[in-house]
Chain A
Amino acid sequence: MALSRETLLGLYEMMVKIRTFEERVAEIYYEGKQPVFNIAAGPVPGEMHLYSGQEAVAAGVCAHLRPDDPVTSTHRPHGHLIAKGVDLKRMMAEIFGKETGLCHGKGGHMHLFDPELHFGCGGIVGGGIPHAVGAALAIKKRGEDRVAVSFFGEGAANIGAFHESLNLAALWKLPAVFIVEDNLYAISVPKTASTAVRSNAERGAAYGIPAVQVDGQDVVAVYEAAGEAVERARRGEGPTLIEAVCYRFRGHFEGDPEHYLPEGTKEQWKQRDPIALLAKQLKDQGWLTDEDAQAIEERMTALIAEAEAFARESAYPPPEAALTDVFVQAESPREEQSHG
């Protein structure tokens, strides 16, 4: 796996893109919700789970994926979808609930679907894992060389669906890659208070799935491990589990007072900001200057400003749209019956 300058600068740019997107969405989210927090107010009502801090995982994994590789994600999906290569305008418009959005404004931030990128996500913790296994089964039955990837949190790894998924993926030797993003917490519950094993990488062994733990703050490490896992899957050698140890820099959701965090720990983790870590490695190699970094940041900021403008200018779906794309229109009475 070549760790070329081009590849690593691509990873750097992707991480900056995700971070800039998330931090801008946070600002937009608080519009109208201050001084008194009102979850229903502002241009983006509802809950908001942001991905800042975990960029290395999405960027490092998705760099190996093609548009036709299915990916399932979670309630914290922005990073994964951006890294998969989404059109930022349609994604931002969806977050705003606009008609031009990926789901015509019916999904919102937690339900982003992009059929062109074979991407889906949702708020049911652990819900995406069996979907990826189903996709992997389809890939195998059709004899394709695609790979299904599921991103989920360490909290989700305590859900039954995780274990059922690993079991079937191993049994049927499916082209699936499971990415556990261990950010230490499920909402306010620390992993140590919910999980009998100390590392989810250990759980692969129970199913005969090769499992590795990587430093989820180091995008180069994630990239290298994910590359091996994805290639294995494409070669038909079966599933892999990767535990990326990482940290979220924002609350579980926006507005989270984070009383559960031991004092100083977030600051400690921020010393290992994945973007700064890569920047340092690139600078040491003479592959990035401060001016380059600044230019990338400005370019990403402009891109996101454009997406935001598009979202703001777009129209809300008309009320009658609530009834479209909800039920399948049966083409014949017979078909209707078979659905019955």
Chain B
Amino acid sequence: MIMIPAAGGTMQPAVGLIANPASGKDIRRLIAHGSVFDNNEKANIIRRVLQALDAFGVKQVLAMPDLYGLVLRALEDTQVGLRVEFVNISVTNTAADSRLAAAVMAQAGVRCIVTVGGDGTNRVVAQGCGDVPLVPISTGTNNVFPSLVESTLAGMAAAAVACDVEPVWDRAVRQARRLEIVRGNTLVETALVDVVVYDERFVATRAIWDADKMRALFLTAPYRGTIGASAIAAYLPQAEEVARDAAGLYVELGPGGTHVMAPIAPGLIVPVSVRVVHPLELEQTIPVTYAPSILALDGEREVPVPPGTSVGVRLSSHGPYVVDVQAALQAAVKAGFFIRKP
């Protein structure tokens, strides 16, 4: 682990950076029309983040190492004064890297973590980052949690958070909810946006695209204008109504319900039959007894529920802290953060 040297007794404003080299290449390019996000573009995104952090006073960046050397690539063609160091983890090129890197960064005292990836990337980062806020930058069209934001702006927002500009934290950082998968009393997994009970047994290519196999849907919040499984509720008037007084939603799917035309993947708009929309309260656990099945977390098949077993899905308030980029920029403008003496 790399410790950030405390300069003059106080910590230098440092930012974490986690870029997932694997995102943006899954089967949604084949079964739907998902955008292709290549790693050169990801390196480009990282360059823009680094430039913004550098321009606004961030001195240190702690980055996750990866086999593809995304951040190293970005650095090759960038002139920045800030220091980039890599957290000392052994790279496995799996999601575990992101989780561990986030934990190490949080321990080292970074003020926020910029993530470059999709819902899946943020899901595992959130499992490691503790209460360090995330600045999620989306690398694709299939995401709900990270926003498709210009990374220069995300970098500027991250700088404002890292430099502790007065009202930024209050105005722009909120704690998200999460969905927890429990077996008995054991927490086995978490999701940030949605959990789908899917009538399949295997993780395979992870994505889910057959609406007829979706048996139930859990949502952390009434997301609006989204894509993916959460879209099933997003375009349904009943869901909007139930969501008004609820922390989350539990939606039963199956034949005989209301048909909503939902964009469950980019360009893939299909009718989904919604039977009942229930409110989901904080700390409420709903048992999933539909087995065999597999739970898709934030759009990726992840937790098999083999025959004869069951799991519970619980809505919790212990999600990650998240920076709203636009709100952070506005607050930073008010504080004069972007003004320099000529």
State the A residues within 8 Å of B (CB): 3, 8, 192, 197-199, 201-202, 204-205, 210-214, 218, 220-221, 223-225, 228-229, 232, 240, 243, 268, 281, 284-286
Contacts and interface: CB of A to CB of B under 8 A. Distances in A.
Contacts of A240: 30
B307 interface: yes
B167 interface: no
6 contacts: A197-B38, A202-B25, A213-B25, A218-B203, A223-B204, A243-B25
Contacts of B292: 285
A199 B27 contact: no
Contacts of B30: 210, 212, 225, 228-229, 232, 240
Given A225-B27, A228-B27, A205 B205 contact: no
A126 B202 CA distance: 33
Nearest to A204: B36
A164 to B, nearest CB: 21
Contacts of B204: 3, 218, 220-221, 223-224
A201 B27 CA distance: 11
User: What is the interface of chain B mostly: helix, strand, loop, or mixed?
Assistant: loop
Interface string B261-284: 000000000000000000000000
Contact of A285 (B36, B40, B205, B306): B306
A218 to B, nearest CB: 7
Given A211-B29, A285-B201, A198 B68 contact: yes
Contact of A211 (B36, B40, B304): B36
A225 B201 contact: no
B160 to A, nearest CB: 31
Contacts of B205: 212, 214, 221, 224-225
Given A202-B39, A268-B92, A213 B26 contact: yes
B21 interface: yes
Given A224-B204, A225-B27, 5 more contacts: A198-B68, A202-B40, A212-B30, A214-B27, A225-B30
Nearest to B39: A198
Nearest to A213: B25
B317 to A, nearest CB: 32
A205 B36 contact: yes
Given A212-B30, A225-B30, A285-B306, A201 B25 contact: yes
B81 interface: no
B103 interface: no
A210 B39 CA distance: 16
- Interface pairs A-B: 4 shortest CB-CB: A202-B38, A213-B25, A198-B39, A198-B68
Contacts of B92: 268
Given A205-B36, A220-B204, A228 B31 contact: yes
A3 B39 CA distance: 32
